């Protein structure tokens, strides 16, 4: 495994300029995927369809058809999103006999329309009901930085395959942190867009009030490139470094920093140092927001699975996920309504902050990746529970529906992640800040270990 893989921009340029055919680019990526098999990150390799799409792209210039902007760039798809001709397993044994999808999910279709090539379906936690990437059916997805550690979940396979250098970017989904936590644990970049920004058509639902689909990438530039393709627009121009450097930044203190181990909070402060005006903002109400997000998630996932036939198919669920669905079904409607009311209050509270700051910074996870199978870990004298705590920093921001870039801070040992948070619909600002801190050397992807 290597991080020397070309960026998506460089791969596409090679194909457009005739330096390398798309088939060669895709074939190399398939070889990297096969070499990364010990990570347990692929549900299926799409070799036949990927090579056929690449060959079709290679014939376009001779037919007088210009190549699209991401021609030949391979990417992976979390197996929660439909890919035409393949079953969408959602990490679940209960869906093993599901019919193949008739069409791509909208987000997959957007990348294919831009010339990108689906290379593999990425493994994930069962029905996205997990925060560690440890699927009791398929086994754990292993972290390329240290295969004895978790990737985080539920976009586990996408994170691992990007971090291993198999592809420059991939698609994940994020309800309460399922892009941001794996990105942090695996030392890559991830984007949770504003809730409602990208279509969820063709995505198996978890909790539709909070669900989003977004890209994960090895560089901040590729993250912006993938996001632009998902929107169907050109990549936005680079924001001037000086303009970004003088943005007003708020660092989330009480309610966030007080739960992070010192090394994680130190990374947040290092990133903050790259900007001009920095202030600390305490949000002690964040615990109430976490509770509201948990109630909404549990209630909606229970009802979604009820509609998917849980009553007659529950034997195909693992015990852990079955218990989660049953707990959600047991929640009374008035609890859910109260949580949704609080969601509106919390959203307004966070929106008001952007009258005073342009961006917010917070830890992405309270700690770096933990050992596979660990029920609890002791970090700096505090006991953490990975299954419950990995989304502690991400859930309150999900509840508000804000766009967030997870930025990797690599150094000695395992990397940690920093959330760069913008106001709704301001993904471009968070992405510009991401490119700036990457250029400044404060955030960068981590190098994987060879297996």
Active site residues: 78, 154, 178
Helix (H) or strand (E) holding 417: strand 416-421
Pairing relationship of beta strands 142-143 and 146-150 according to DSSP bridges: antiparallel
Token duo for residue 68: 């699209």
DSSP secondary structure, 215-281, as one string: EEESSHHHHHHHHHHHHTSPPPPPPPHHHHHT--EEEETTTTGGGS-HHHHHHHHHHHTTSSSEEEE
Q: What is the Cα–Cα distance from 394 to 288, expressed in whole angstroms?
A: 13
Coarse DSSP helix, strand, coil percentages of the chain, rounded to the nearest 5 percent: 40, 20, 40
114 SS3 class: coil
Token duo for residue 283: 């949000």
Pairing relationship of beta strands 278-281 and 249-252 according to DSSP bridges: parallel
Q: What is the Cα–Cα distance from 81 to 216, expressed in whole angstroms?
A: 15
Q: What is the Cα–Cα distance from 34 to 45, expressed in whole angstroms?
A: 9
Write 233-236 long-range contacts (CB < 8 A, 24+).
234/69, 236/428, 236/431, 236/432
407 SS3 class: strand
């Amino acid at each position: 495994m290597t991080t020397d893989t070309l960026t998506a921009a460089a791969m596409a340029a090679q194909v457009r300029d005739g330096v390398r055919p798309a088939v060669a680019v895709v074939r190399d990526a398939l070889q990297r995927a096969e070499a990364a098999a010990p990570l347990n990150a692929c549900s299926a390799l799409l070799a036949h369809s990927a090579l056929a799409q690449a060959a079709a792209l290679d014939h376009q210039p001779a037919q007088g058809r210009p190549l699209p902007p991401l021609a030949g760039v391979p990417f992976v798809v979390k197996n929660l999103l439909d890919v035409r001709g393949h079953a969408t397993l959602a990490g679940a044994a209960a869906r093993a006999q599901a019919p193949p999808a008739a069409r791509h999910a909208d987000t997959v279709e957007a990348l294919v329309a831009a010339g990108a090539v689906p290379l593999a379906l990425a493994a994930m936690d069962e029905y996205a009901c997990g925060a560690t990437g440890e699927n009791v059916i398929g086994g754990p997805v292993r972290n390329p930085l240290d295969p004895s550690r978790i990737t985080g979940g539920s976009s586990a396979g996408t994170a691992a395959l990007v971090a291993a250098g198999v592809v420059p970017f991939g698609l994940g989904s994020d309800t309460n942190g399922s892009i941001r936590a794996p990105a942090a644990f695996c030392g890559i970049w991830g984007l949770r867009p504003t809730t409602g920004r990208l279509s969820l058509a063709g995505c198996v639902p978890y909790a539709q009030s909070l669900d989003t689909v977004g890209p994960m990438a090895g560089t901040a530039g590729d993250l912006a490139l993938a996001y632009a393709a998902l929107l169907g627009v050109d990549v936005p121009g680079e924001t001037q470094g000086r303009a970004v450097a003088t943005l007003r930044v708020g660092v989330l203190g009480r309610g966030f920093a007080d739960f992070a181990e010192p090394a994680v909070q130190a990374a947040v402060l290092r990133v903050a140092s790259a900007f001009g005006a920095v202030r600390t903002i305490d949000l002690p109400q964040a615990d109430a927001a976490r509770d509201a997000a948990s109630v909404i998630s549990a209630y909606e996932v229970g009802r979604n699975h009820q509609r998917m036939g849980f009553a007659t198919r529950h034997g195909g669920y693992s015990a852990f996920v079955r218990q989660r669905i049953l707990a959600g079904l047991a929640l009374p409607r008035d609890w859910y309504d109260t949580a949704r009311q609080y969601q509106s209050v919390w959203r307004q509270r966070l929106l008001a902050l952007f009258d005073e700051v342009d961006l917010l910074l917070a830890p992405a996870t309270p700690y770096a990746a933990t050992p596979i199978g660990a029920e609890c870990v002791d970090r700096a004298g505090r006991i953490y529970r990975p299954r419950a705590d990995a989304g502690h920093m991400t859930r309150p921001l999900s509840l508000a529906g804000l766009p967030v870039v997870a930025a990797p801070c690599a150094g000695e040992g395992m990397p940690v992640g920093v959330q760069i948070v913008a106001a709704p619909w301001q993904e471009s600002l968070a992405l510009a800040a991401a490119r700036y801190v990457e250029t400044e050397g404060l955030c960068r992807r981590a190098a994987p270990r060879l297996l």
